[in-house]
Every structure is written in structure tokens, then in C-alpha cells.
Structure 1
């Protein structure tokens, strides 16, 4: 630990800030599936447009991850995070000003770039703000906030926020987005500095790092399952004649990831950086997705919720590894490479699924393609060089 450590902000306050920052890594994205029917009606969106509304920001997470690594080197992890949050707030709210599909997707892409910078900034910030024994807890904390953002964005938008805004999808986007500016302001408060500052000028990930590629493909598989199913849930349920279940299904589908993050708050110190939990969560999430595709009605919904839960566990296990295995400087680079690979896959796989659904006229085709890709990534977990 560095000499002269600054520590003028309580641990609980730091964990709270990490939680709120994590909230805005997913909340603005997962508002889109709930609002997609209203937006599609007004702007005449195709199935491909509907999929891109959720997955384009995911693609920006891939494109912007390397920019995040560069900004961390230039500005520091805290300042990069603050700048990113401002971009997220303004870009997300600006989607409510769109009057064409193109404008809507441009603002969605800008928002995604902001979130992309947040993703490596948080792992890089953890060793600066927390002692080594609390890094796993810090990861679980901001991931709990992130997954709570998925739940609140997708699960509470239709039953709670839309009635308060007069069923205006434009006003709903503003209500969810602009409070991120307050979080950005609060991030200026902590004065903490554990560990030695990195003097490295390297910001590009090491392309020959096998761990980065393994984690990237595993992240791509689990993110494709979650984002893709969210994006096409309305279309699948409508095809099955179950559209009346959309609100409830989205609510519990995203609540399951909150449950996963709560479990990880307790189990992070036992499961993080171990291979067996990664293998188990990857396998169960794929098996549960198969159950959702094969069964209709509430049994199918139950399998979808199960898939979401274990995909959430897997996501946290993957994201938690870089700050556990690398110092502050390299953790940001490893995370950036991981996110670049994973979210590039998580964009193209569901988008190809949407194109397949448009060609075949079968919404289930999109989700079958996503499942096939996720299943291919499961054996990668067996090759992770981690203790069991």
C-alpha cells in the first residue's frame, strides 16, 4: 500500500457511489425494450430497428471500451468515469427528441459510448478507492447497481414511470436519464488513494493475452443471451399470443439479475476467481434458455427468468476477474479488451438474429441463433486457468 494514503471519505459512501454509477451502466439501455412498442408505433420501426435500439448501445460498449482505456490513462479513472456519466445522461435523454429512426439510433449510439467508457473505468478505480481485501466487494456492489438498473429500467418503466409521464415515451427517457448528472457531481467528493499510481503509457489491451479472449467470448455469450432475449421478448410473446404477459415477464426477467447480484454480494469472496462457478453458471443459463424456447406459457417464462439469474451470476464472475488478477493500470486495459470482444459479439449475434427473424417471419429464429452462439462459448469456461 502506498505511503501517505488519503482516506477522507467513508467506505460506505464509496460503495454507495459505486452502486449509483453501476446503475447507469444498464438502466438507460434496458428502458428501450419496455418502450419499444410505443416507439415502434410512432417511428415505424422494423424488427431489425427494434433489435438495434437495444443492441446498438451494446455495440458502442465494444467500440468505446478502448477509448475508455485511453481516457483512463489521460484523465485518470475517476475523471473518465465522471465525463462518461455526463455523456450517458445527455445522450440517453436526447433520444426523446428523435423524430426518425436514424436520429434515435444516433443518440442511442452516443449514450452507448458513454457507458463504454464507464465499463473499464470502474475496475480501474477500485484499486484506488478500496483496499485489496475489499475489491471483490466493490465489484459486487457496482455490479449490483448495474443489474438493479436493468431491473428498474425494464421492469418499472411501463407500470410506474409511463403513467407518471402521461404515457409519453419521450418524457420517460428524460425522467430515467437526467439524474445521472447528480451522480457525476457526487463522484468528485471522495478523496482516497490506495496503492501506487500506474506510470504506464500503455492503453491498448495485449492482443496475445489468452485470458482476455476467453473472458471476451464468455462475456459475449452471456450478454447475447440477456440483451437479445430482452430485445426480442415482446416479439416472441406476441407471436405466441402471450403479449399480455410482457410487463410481468420483463419485470421478473430483470429482477432475476438483481437476485443474482445480491447473491454475489454474499458469495463474491468465495466464487470470484474460481473456475467451477463460471462453468456451472454458463451451463445452467444455456440449458434454461433452451427451456424457454421449447415451452410456452408460464413454464417458458420461468425458464427465461432462470436463464437471466445465472447469466447475471456469470456476468459478475467475468467482470470481477480483471481487478483481482491485475494492478490498477493493467486492470483497465484487460477490462477494455474483454468488453471490446464481448460486446462486439453481443451486438452482432442478436442483430443477425433479428435479420433472420425478418427473413423467416419467425421471431423465435432470432432467439434460437442467440442460444446456439451461447452454447458454443460454454466449453471455454473449462479452459480457464483458475482454481476450482
Structure 2
């Protein structure tokens, strides 16, 4: 049986590389941005959309991903979603203007959204007894994708491709085809439903359930603080005359996510669905954000590190929950609802932060909407913990 192989090396590698391609292709445009802008004549607005558009697609495409899972099964959906994401990423290398570049980016974003919705169901199918650990493995891949894209593109990959941003995109994207082939060769059951049952199958998230909104709000808190502080760290530091600390601050802030993923490998199973860890991590994130905004020097940077570390662990714990709480055929819809709300917040709230900064001229106002979402997430943590206990009780009886 498959669960007996749940933590085999092959399964671990497939989960990790699937997680890697949730972020690698998306974030590689950041270091390549100046070359792309110069070559294609892109405006600053278009360059910003290359980062924000995929986040919007993660929100809008999550429900579509749940629909595909209900029709094709988990593994088949993941394979096709990965192929779609790779195709969109490679298509960016062949674009000749802003419109085609944004269209290719949207296609890639849809593929990634479907991948992100299907992976919690895959974890439940492959590793039913080790949901938290398996989720931590693919989330480690996701976070390493962020680091590899940001850290290796300019010093390593770009020189190997003759300073070509188009070839660099292809170098990062094409190995995704090997991951798709390996997933196909895994031979896991696809859980495709009979045609008559498909018509009755529930694939839409139930937004009437408070737990969906609570989970989405906690995920939104995690993603909003991460994306928001990344986006406005430069403004905050420059506003208080510490622009020289930006490179160190960004390195600390983003490396904390990798530390979080390794800590989650050890503690995720123990903390999964527990109110106290979720609440503590959220409160520390709020405190770290305040200290970063109103502190100075290296103390402020380490406060931002603490925030990034905590929201990274929160995200891993939350992504583990749909597979641990829902019955098999409701895992993807619950994940889709959570991601739709969470990524809608992480798309819209940082935009509100930018509007406040533009109107006030004070960089610290960027933190206000981020902190507002984080404060709303405090009671949501209690709701999530309570609903997890109820779900486990129903499973046991």
C-alpha cells in the first residue's frame, strides 16, 4: 500500500521538487527585471505586475484547481498544472512586448495556483499518517525556490547563458518537465471519480463556514506580512536614513523563511492545529513588525527576521491543515477556499499600503494595513484551533 512508502526517498524528492516549482519560476523575474525592462521597453507598472499578477492568479485560480482535482484526480491535476506552469514560464522567454509577457505570466500563475490546491490532497493520499511532515517537506522546497531564484540567478545562471534573460528563464523552467515525468512515473492512484459521482461531487469551497474564513485570514496574515515587508522594507529604511542596511535586511528577512522550513520539519507534527503555537507565532510577528517599524539599526533588522521566521512557520502549519481536517474529497475545496482568501489579502493589502505611503509621504504607514490584518488573525487562530479539535474528534469517533 502507498502509505507504507509515505516517506520513501522517492516520495520525499517528488514532494520537495513539486514545492520548489511553486515559487522558483515565479520569483526568478525579480533579479532579471532590469534586463527584461530594457529589452522589452517595460514600464515600472508592468514590472510590478510581473510580481503581483501571479499572486492574483494564486487567489483566483485556487477554486478552478479544486474543480480540476474533482474531475481528473489529484496526481493528474498536479502533473497538468506543473506542465501548464512550465509552458507559461517558457513562453515568457519568447515574448516581444508587455502584453504577451503578462499573458504568459498569467498562464504560469494559473498553473501554480492549481498545483498549490492539489498538493494538500496529494499529501493526504501519499502520506496519510504524516501530513504535517510531508507538508513541511514540500514547503521547504517552496521556500528554497525563493532563495535559489534570488541568490543564484545573477551570479551563476546568467553568466552561463551569456547574460541572456530569455535563456535564463528556460534554464530555470525546463527541469520542471522532469519533475512532471517523475510524478507520472510514480504510478499513484489518481482518485478519479466515476462520471455519475462527479456530478454530485462537491468541489466548491463552502464560504459559509467560519473555519474557511479563519484559515484564509491566518494564511493572509502570513503572506501579507511577508510580501508587504519585502515590498516596503526599502521605503522604511530609507525614510529613517538607513538605506545602507537594505541588502542585509532583505537577506536576513528572506533567509528566515528557510530556517522556518527546517524548524517546521521538527515541530510541525507537534504544533499542527494547536491554538497556542499559532497564537504565539502571530503575536511575535506583530511585535517584530512594530519593532522593525519603530526601531533602528540591526535590532530592527533582527525584529524583521523574527517576523519572517514566525510567519513562515505559520504558513507551513496552515497549509498542512486541509489534509488533516477534511475528509478526502473535501481537502482540495477547503485548501482552495483558504488560498483564495489568503492570497486575495496578500494581493490587495500591500497595494493599500502603497496608497497610504503615496498620500502621506511617511513610509511607516505601509505597516498599518499589514498590522490590521495580523490583529484580525489573532481571534482567527482560536477559531482554527477549535475547528481542528472538532475535526479530529469526529474522525476518532
Are the aligned partners of 2:84 and 2:108 in contact in 1 as well (CA < 8 Å)?
yes
Per the alignment, residue 260 of structure 1 pairs with 260
Distance in 2 (CA, whole Å) between partners of 1:320 and 1:103 is 36
Distance in 2 (CA, whole Å) between partners of 1:22 and 1:240 is 37
How far is 1:242 from its partner?
A: 5.3
TM-score (norm 2): 0.86
- Alignment partner of 2:148 out of 109, 133, 152: 152
Distance 1:250 1:186, change over 3 A: farther
Are the aligned partners of 1:151 and 1:251 in contact in 2 as well (CA < 8 Å)?
no
User: Aligned pair 1:73/2:76, yes or no?
Assistant: no
Per the alignment, residue 188 of structure 1 pairs with 184
How far is 1:151 from its partner?
A: 1.9
Residues 8-157 of structure 1 correspond to what in structure 2 (within 5 A)? 11-39=8-36, 43-46=41-44, 48-130=45-127, 132-157=128-153
SS in 1 for 2:201: coil
Per the alignment, residue 273 of structure 2 pairs with 273
Residues 1-24 of structure 1, C-alpha deviations (whole Å, 9 max, x = no match): xxx769789722112101100111
Per the alignment, residue 350 of structure 1 pairs with 350
Which has the larger displacement, 97-106 or 240-249? 240-249
Residues 28-51 of structure 1, C-alpha deviations (whole Å, 9 max, x = no match): 2333444445555664533x5454
Distance 1:76 1:168, change over 3 A: same
Instruction: Give the number of the structure with larger relative contact order, counting CA–CA contacts within 8 Å between residues 6 or more apart.
Output: 1
How far is 1:201 from its partner?
A: 1.5
Which has the larger displacement, 63-72 or 204-213? 204-213
Are the aligned partners of 1:147 and 1:257 in contact in 2 as well (CA < 8 Å)?
yes
SS in 2 for 1:188: helix
How far is 1:361 from its partner?
A: 5.2
Residues 70-115 of structure 1, C-alpha deviations (whole Å, 9 max, x = no match): 1101111101101111121122233344454444333222211111
Distance 1:350 1:96, change over 3 A: farther
User: Aligned pair 1:314/2:310, yes or no?
Assistant: no
Are the aligned partners of 1:137 and 1:268 in contact in 2 as well (CA < 8 Å)?
yes
Distance in 2 (CA, whole Å) between partners of 1:224 and 1:80 is 28
TM-score (norm 1): 0.87
Residues 161-240 of structure 1 correspond to what in structure 2 (within 5 A)? 161-193=157-189, 201-234=201-234, 236=236
- Could you list the runs of 5+ residues in structure 2 that have no partner in the other structure? 390-397
Matched pairs, number: 383
- Could you list the runs of 5+ residues in structure 1 that have no partner in the other structure? none
SS in 2 for 1:273: coil
Distance in 1 (CA, whole Å) between partners of 2:363 and 2:96 is 26
Are the aligned partners of 1:139 and 1:320 in contact in 2 as well (CA < 8 Å)?
yes
Distance in 2 (CA, whole Å) between partners of 1:101 and 1:54 is 14
Distance in 1 (CA, whole Å) between partners of 2:73 and 2:275 is 32
Residues 363-374 of structure 1 correspond to what in structure 2 (within 5 A)? 364-374=364-374
Distance in 2 (CA, whole Å) between partners of 1:40 and 1:234 is 21
Per the alignment, residue 383 of structure 1 pairs with 383
